[in-house]
Amino acid sequence: MQALQGLKVLELGQLIAGPFAARTLADFGADVIKVEPGGTGDPLRRWRLLRNGTSVWWEVQSRNKRSVCLDLRTPAGQDVVRALAAEADILIENFKPGTLEGWGLGWDALHAANPGLIMLRISGYGQTGPDRDKPGFGVLGEAMGGLRHLSGEPGRVPVRVGVSIGDSLAALHGVIGVLTALRHREVNGGQGQVVDVALYEAVFNVMESLLPEYDAFGTVRQASGSALPGISPTNAYPCNDGQYVLVAGNGDSIFRRLMHAIDRPDLADDPDLVHNEGRVRRCDEIDAAIGAWTVQRSRSEVQAVLDAAAVPAGRIYNVADIAADPQYRARGMIVDVTAGDGQPLKVPGIVPKLSTTPGTIAHAAPSLGQHDAELKAASPGRWPARRG
């Protein structure tokens, strides 16, 4: 038994945010039916690196799902979606606001037919507000949410994180909203409801003290490279083998252990550096002291000393490091599967870890329209003869 076993999810979205949310639910047992346009399918099938004509990213994003081909712009396709939505617990979509309404598949229509339906709607700017009708992608949400301004080195062009973090944050907020709405429906006797997630709001929600610091002090936080402003010491420090070590010595007791480990008892015992606010005022001096010590040693030597002193430290991983790391394997975060093309493939494991009802990768990502016949046979009376 899995935690979400028995839940029926209808996925109408494509690419990243909506499908990521649906995949997370599928990993924990929900039955996800993914609706794709015939012929081409979800564009993600051909994004980034392809093997045997299909993106290996697709194997991650669409695992544990079933695929059906429908043209949502046609009455026949819309009829099928209505039939599927009438039996679903959750519907996930990430079209521009108003798109489903234009097809007769908006919230009011689907809710009237299925009062318990929960609809997750992910869009660039949300379902309301002056920007609702603007097209929005994750990169724009990252910028509007404040993340892009803080990324990179001071005085240089702001850079993006190397993955679609805005879409992923929106998806995870969507899952939180869906599970909250399910709790209300099942425990409080409530009906279904809309979960409205805007990409920029999902990013803004993780921006910590950005807004209150501006409101209280007029501070506009700026990019700071590898450091974290207002918290000291935490930075990347050079080693003599050309590598860097990340050190997070910002806890008061951790700082003392760190200073003793690098042979700077004078800083460990300095009363001005007992707490973070004092260390922030002298962060350049502290960073220089740590860097002077690390640059005389290899990264592995630094790691060994700081591990012995119980100081949080680590290296900067690339994917080869990840694939070789025993911690990843021990935690089931690198899983060997057979992909849709019949070939072996390593894919990320499931997060979070549940002790009693863990998630599982039950089957590979589907081929385009793989489950058309199966779904039609399961409910022939509700599946219109006319197909899009």
Degrees, nearest 5: CA angle 1-36-168: 65
> Do 311 and 377 lie in a common domain?
no
Helices (DSSP H) in 147-198: which residue ranges? 165-187
Asked, for residue 166, whether it belongs to a domain, the answer is yes
Q: How many CB atoms neighbour CB 39 within 10 A? A: 9
Interval 26-54: pLDDT, tens: 999 999 999 999 999 999 999 999 999 99
Mark whether 151 and 243 lie in a shared domain: no
Per the annotation, the verdict on 167 as an active-site residue is yes
In a domain, 345, yes or no: no
The CA distance from 68 to 375, in Å, is: 8
Check whether residue 159 and residue 274 sit in a common domain: no
Residue 277 counted as domain residue: yes
Distance of alpha carbon 295 from alpha carbon 272, whole angstroms? 26
Task: Identify whether residues 91 and 135 lie together within a single domain.
Answer: yes
Asked whether residue 333 is domain-assigned, the answer is no
Domain assignment present for residue 222? The answer is no
In the set 27, 31, 42, 167, the catalytic residue is: 167
For residue 277, what pLDDT is reported?
Answer: 96
Q: Are residues 108 and 257 in the same domain?
A: no
Q: Is it the case that residue 388 has pLDDT exceeding 50?
A: no
Q: Is the pLDDT of residue 383 over 80?
A: no
Give the pLDDT confidence score for residue 228 in this predicted structure.
87
CATH number at residue 124: 3.40.50.10540
CATH code of the domain containing 256: 3.30.1540.10
The predicted model scores a pTM of 0.93
Domain carrying residue 245: 234-320
Residue in the structure block whose two tokens are 């309404």: 101
Per-residue confidence band for 384, with pLDDT thresholds at 50, 70 and 90: low
Q: 182: pLDDT confidence band, cut at 50, 70 and 90?
A: very high
How many other C-beta atoms lie within 10 A of the C-beta of residue 164?
21
Count of structural domains within the chain: 2
- The pLDDT value recorded for residue 376 is 80
Q: What is the pLDDT of residue 386?
A: 43
Asked whether residue 221 is assigned to any structural domain, the reply reads no
Domain match, 362 and 306 both: no
Same domain membership, residue 238 and residue 202: no
Query: Nearest to residue 159, comparing CAs of 226, 72, 88?
Result: 226
Based on the fold, state whether residues 313 and 251 are members of the same structural domain: yes
- Pair (143, 274) in one structural domain: no
